C-alpha cells in the first residue's frame, strides 16, 4: 500500500476492515503528511498525535477481536476548531480562547468517536468563523494547496486545505453563510451544509445560532455522504435539532442518475462580479446535467439580492450576544488582572486584546443593530427579508427538485487582496447565504478549473430542507460524469506541495 493518503474515506475504511492495512498505519501516514506539508499549508492549529494513534489502535483492537466496524472506522478526519473536544484545545481561531481545554465533547465529536473516526487534530479557521478567507485567524492564514499564496476560502479554510493537501480524507466544517461550501469551491473539494437542525450544534461554539450548521467536507461526494450519515440525526441536547430520520444520503450518492429530475438555475446568481471562467464552468455543468437527462429551467428568486445585507444584520446581531460570554471570568484569556483593576476593566482589556478586528467589527455592528430604536429597522427588517427568501425558495421548489448556481463568484483570490475591504470579502458568500437564511441544504462540488487562472470552480446545488439526499444524487452524478470526462479527479491536477 503506497500513498495511503490519496485513498478516499470509503476505500480507506474498506482496506482497514479487510485487514489490508491497519488503522494505525493509516493514521501514521496522515500524521507524517501533516508533518511534511503543514508548515507550508497551516491547515492545523493543533495536531493530536497521541489521541489519533490511540483512536486508531482502538479500531485495530476491535477488528482483532472480530467486532464489526462502522463504515468510517479508522478513517482520519480533520476537525474544525469550533467544535469542543474534551481534553483537546479548542480556540475557534481566537486569542481569547487560547489555552482553553474544554471539559466536554460536542455531540458531533462524540458521534465521530463512536463511529471509530480518527480525529487527527483541529483545523484553522477565521476567528469565530467570521470570514471567507481564513485570514482572520489569530494564528496566521492557511494557504490554498492549489497556490499557497492564495486563500483557501473561509471560514473553514483549514478543513478544506487539509483535504486538498491530502492531510486528511475527511474534515468537518461549519457553514453560517458559506463557510463549508466556499472553501470547498476554491480548493476543489466537496462540502455540504446539511439542513439546519439536522446536525447537532451542541458543542459547536456559536457564531450565529440561527444560521450555524456543521457539515461534512471530503474529496468525493460518497465520502461526504458517509460522513453526513455519521454526524446527522436528532440530539436531545439541541432544542433546534430536527427529530426525524436522516435522509438516505449514501444511497443517493451511489445512484448516479439524474434522469427525470427538474433542476432550476437561479437567474440572480450571474452578471457583474462573476468571473468569466467561473460562469463558463458553471454553464458547462448546466449542459452536462441536460446531457445526463435532467430537465433544466431558469428560476427567479428576486429576494436573493437582499440576502447579503440581511445576513450582515442577523449574523452580527446574534454574534454580539453569543460572544458576550468571553469576559475573562471563567475561561480563556485574562488580561490586566493585577489586583488593582475592577472586573469590568479586566473584561474590557481582555476583549480588546483577545478579539481580532473582524470580530470586533461584527460585535459592534450587531450591538448597534439590536439597540433600542434601531431594532425594527435593522434586525426586524432583516428577519422579514429572511421570510421573503424562504418564500422564494418555496416557490422555486414547487417547480424544481434542486437549484444550482456557482458556489462563489470568483476563484481563490490572493492572500491580502481583500483584507482591507470587508465589502469585497463579504461578496464571496453572495450565492451561499440564501440557504443559511432559509435553513435548507446545499452542497458545493468541483466542476472544473477556470481557464484564466487554472483554479477550481465550485458548483452549488441547493435542495429543500430535509431533502439533503437530492444534493448527493445530483452531486454524485455530476462528479462521476466529470471524472469520466477528465479521466481522474480534479484534485490530481493540483501542483505537488
Partner 1 sequence: MNLVSYDDAMASYDPVMGLEVHVELGTKTKMFCGCSTTLGAEPNSQTCPTCLGLPGSLPVVNAIGVESAIKIGLALNCEIAQWCRFARKNYFYPDMPKNFQTSQYDEPIAFNGYLDVQLEDGEIFRVQIERAHMEEDTGKSSHIGGATGRIHGASHSLLDYNRAGIPLIEIVTKPIEGAGVRAPEVAKAYVAELRELIKALGVSEARMDKGQMRCDVNLSLRPHGREKFGTRSETKNVNSLRSVERAARFEIMRHATVLDDGGTIVQETRHFHEEDGSTTAGRIKDNAEDYRYFPEPDLVPIAPARAWVEELRAALPELPRLRRARLQGEWGLSDQDMQSVLNAGAVQPILETIAAGAPADQARKWWMGELARRANESGTDLSEQPITPGQVARVCALVAEGKLNDKLARQVIEGVLAGQGEPDEVVAARGLAVVSDDSALGAAVDQAIADNPAIADKIRDGKVAAVGALVGAVMKTTRGQADAARVKDLLLQKLGAA
E-strand ranges in 84-181 read 118-123, 170-174
Residues whose CB is less than 8 angstroms from the CB of residue 479 and which lie 6 or more positions away in sequence, other chains included: 190, 220, 221, 445, 446
CB of 150 to partner 1, least distance (A): 31
Give the Cβ contact number of residue 50 at 10 Å.
8
Binding part of the chain for partner 1, among 154-162, 205-213, 251-259, 282-290 by CB under 8 A, reads 205-213
Q: What's the CA gap between 379 and 371, in Å, rounded?
A: 9
Smallest gap, in angstroms, from Cβ of residue 148 to partner 1? 31
- Is residue 417 within 8 Å of residue 441, measured between CB atoms? no
- Strand duo 402-406 + 455-463: pairing: antiparallel
User: Which positions are catalytic?
Assistant: 80, 155, 179
Contact string 246-275 vs partner 1 (x = CB under 8 A): ------------------------------
> In sequence order, what DSSP letters do the residues of 303-355 get, joined into one string?
GGGGHHHHHHHHHHHHHHHHGGG-SSSSSS-----SSSS-HHHHHHHHHHHHS
Of 236 and 245, CB closest to partner 1: 236
d(CA 345, CA 196): 38
Q: How far is the CB of 130 from partner 1 (least distance, A)?
A: 15
Q: What minimum distance in Å lies between the beta carbon of 69 and partner 1?
A: 29
CA–CA dist 186, 152 (Å, integer): 6
Q: Measured from the CB atom, is 274 or 355 closer to partner 1?
A: 355
Range in contact with partner 1 (rule: CB under 8 A) among 58-66, 72-80, 196-204, 217-225: 196-204
Q: Which of 101, 276, 343, 395 binds partner 1 (CB under 8 A)?
A: 343
Q: Are 73 and 23 in contact (CB under 8 A)?
A: yes
Phi, psi of 190 (to 5 degrees): -100, 135
Nearest-5° angle of CA 435, CA 127, CA 333? 140
> In terms of CB distance, is 85 or 405 closer to partner 1?
85
The answer to whether 364 contacts partner 1 (rule: CB under 8 A) is no
In the region spanning residues 321 to 340, those forming contacts with partner 1, defined by CB under 8 A, are 321, 324-327, 329-331
Residues 83-102 that bind partner 1 (CB under 8 A): 83-84, 90, 92, 97, 100, 102
243 forms part of the interface with partner 1 (CB under 8 A): no
Residue nearer to partner 1 on the CB measure, 268 or 318: 318
| Piece of the chain touching partner 1 by CB under 8 A; list 50-58, 145-153, 232-240, 391-399 | 232-240
Any contact of residue 490 with partner 1 (CB under 8 A)?
no
Helix, strand, coil content of the chain in percent (nearest 5): 45, 15, 40
Is residue 371 involved in binding partner 1 (CB under 8 A)?
A: yes
Question: Distance between CA 220 and CA 222 in Å, rounded?
Answer: 5
355 binds partner 1 (CB under 8 A): no
| Cα 50 from Cα 34, distance rounded (Å) | 14
Check binding of 81 to partner 1 (CB under 8 A): no
Residue 238 in the binding site for partner 1 (CB under 8 A): yes
Task: State the Cα angle at 77 between 404 and 462, rounded to 5°.
Answer: 10
Show contacts of 276-279: CB within 8 Å, 24+ apart. Answer: 276/450, 276/452, 277/411, 277/449, 277/450, 277/451, 277/452, 277/453, 277/457, 278/406, 278/408, 278/409, 278/410, 278/411, 278/450, 278/457, 279/406
Give, in degrees to the nearest 5, the angle at Cα 29 between 26 and 31: 110
Considering only 230-238, 271-279, 407-415, 484-492, which stretch makes contact with partner 1 by CB under 8 A? 230-238
Near partner 1 by CB under 8 A: residue from 8, 179, 189, 317: 317
User: Residue 390 interacts with partner 1 (CB under 8 A)?
Assistant: no
Does the protein bind partner 1 through residue 239 (CB under 8 A)?
Answer: yes
Which is nearer to partner 1, 336 or 427 (by Cβ)?
A: 336
Distance CA 374, CA 340 (A): 37
If binding is defined by CB under 8 A, does position 201 make contact with partner 1? yes
Q: How far is the CB of 327 from partner 1 (least distance, A)?
A: 6
Distance in Å, CB of 92 to partner 1, minimum: 7
Which range of residues in 44-52, 176-184, 343-351, 384-392 is near partner 1 by CB under 8 A?
343-351
For cell 465589502, name the residue: 423
Residue 184 Cβ, how far from partner 1 at the closest point, in Å? 23
Member of 10, 120, 205, 359 binding partner 1 (CB under 8 A): 205
379 binds partner 1 (CB under 8 A): yes
Alpha-carbon span 458 to 266, nearest angstrom:
15
Cα(461)–Cα(386) distance, integer angstroms: 20
Question: Interface with partner 1 includes 36 (CB under 8 A)?
Answer: no
Residue 195 engages partner 1 in binding (rule: CB under 8 A) = no
**# residues contacting partner 1 (CB under 8 A):** 44
User: Which residues make up the interface to partner 1 (CB under 8 A)?
Assistant: 83-84, 90, 92, 97, 100, 102-104, 106, 201-206, 208-210, 236-240, 317-318, 320-321, 324-327, 329-331, 343-344, 347, 367, 370-372, 375, 379
Amino acid at each position: 500500500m503506497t500513498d495511503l493518503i490519496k485513498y478516499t474515506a470509503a476505500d480507506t475504511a474498506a482496506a482497514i476492515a479487510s485487514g489490508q492495512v491497519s488503522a494505525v498505519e493509516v493514521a501514521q501516514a496522515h500524521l507524517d503528511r501533516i508533518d511534511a506539508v503543514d508548515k507550508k499549508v497551516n491547515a492545523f492549529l493543533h495536531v493530536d498525535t497521541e489521541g489519533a494513534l490511540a483512536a486508531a489502535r482502538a479500531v485495530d483492537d476491535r477488528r482483532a477481536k472480530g467486532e464489526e466496524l462502522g463504515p468510517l472506522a479508522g478513517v482520519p478526519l480533520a476537525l474544525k476548531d469550533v467544535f469542543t473536544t474534551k481534553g483537546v484545545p479548542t480556540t475557534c481561531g481566537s486569542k481569547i480562547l487560547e489555552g482553553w481545554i474544554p471539559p466536554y465533547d460536542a455531540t458531533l465529536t462524540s458521534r465521530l468517536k463512536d463511529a471509530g473516526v480518527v480525529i487527527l487534530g483541529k483545523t484553522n479557521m477565521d476567528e469565530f468563523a467570521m470570514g471567507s478567507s481564513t485570514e482572520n485567524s489569530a494564528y496566521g492564514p492557511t494557504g490554498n494547496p492549489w497556490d499557497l499564496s492564495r486563500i483557501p476560502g473561509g471560514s473553514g479554510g483549514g478543513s478544506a486545505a487539509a483535504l486538498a493537501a491530502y492531510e486528511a480524507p475527511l474534515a468537518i466544517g461549519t457553514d453560517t453563510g458559506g463557510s463549508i461550501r466556499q472553501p470547498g469551491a476554491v480548493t476543489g473539494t466537496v462540502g455540504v451544509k446539511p439542513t439546519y437542525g439536522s446536525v447537532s450544534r451542541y458543542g459547536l461554539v456559536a457564531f450565529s445560532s440561527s444560521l450555524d450548521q456543521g457539515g461534512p467536507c471530503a474529496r468525493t461526494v460518497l465520502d461526504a455522504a458517509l460522513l453526513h450519515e455519521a454526524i446527522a440525526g436528532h440530539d436531545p441536547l439541541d432544542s433546534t435539532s430536527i427529530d426525524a430520520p436522516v435522509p438516505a444520503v449514501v444511497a443517493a450518492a451511489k445512484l448516479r442518475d439524474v434522469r427525470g429530475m427538474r433542476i432550476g438555475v437561479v437567474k440572480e446568481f450571474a452578471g457583474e462580479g462573476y468571473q468569466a471562467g467561473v460562469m463558463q464552468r458553471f454553464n458547462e455543468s448546466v449542459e452536462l446535467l441536460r446531457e445526463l437527462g435532467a430537465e433544466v429551467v431558469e428560476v427567479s428568486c428576486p429576494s436573493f439580492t437582499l440576502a447579503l445585507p440581511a445576513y450582515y444584520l442577523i449574523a452580527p446581531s446574534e454574534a454580539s450576544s453569543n460572544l458576550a460570554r468571553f469576559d475573562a471570568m471563567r475561561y480563556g484569556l485574562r488580561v490586566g488582572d493585577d489586583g488593582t483593576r475592577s472586573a469590568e476593566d479586566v473584561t474590557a482589556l481582555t476583549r480588546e486584546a483577545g478579539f481580532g478586528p473582524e470580530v470586533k467589527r461584527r460585535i459592534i455592528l450587531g450591538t448597534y443593530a439590536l439597540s433600542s430604536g434601531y431594532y425594527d429597522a435593522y434586525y426586524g427588517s432583516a428577519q422579514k427579508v429572511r421570510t421573503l427568501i424562504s418564500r422564494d425558495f418555496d416557490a422555486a421548489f414547487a417547480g424544481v427538485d434542486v437549484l444550482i448556481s456557482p458556489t462563489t463568484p470568483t476563484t481563490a483570490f490572493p492572500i491580502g487582496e481583500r483584507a482591507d475591504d470587508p465589502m469585497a470579502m463579504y461578496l464571496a458568500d453572495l450565492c451561499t447565504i440564501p440557504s443559511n437564511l432559509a435553513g435548507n441544504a446545499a452542497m458545493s462540488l468541483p466542476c472544473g478549473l477556470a481557464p484564466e487562472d487554472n483554479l477550481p470552480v465550485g458548483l452549488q446545488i441547493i435542495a429543500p430542507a430535509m431533502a439533503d439526499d437530492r444534493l448527493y444524487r445530483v452531486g454524485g452524478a455530476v462528479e462521476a460524469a466529470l471524472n469520466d470526462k477528465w479521466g481522474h479527479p480534479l484534485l490530481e491536477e493540483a501542483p505537488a506541495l
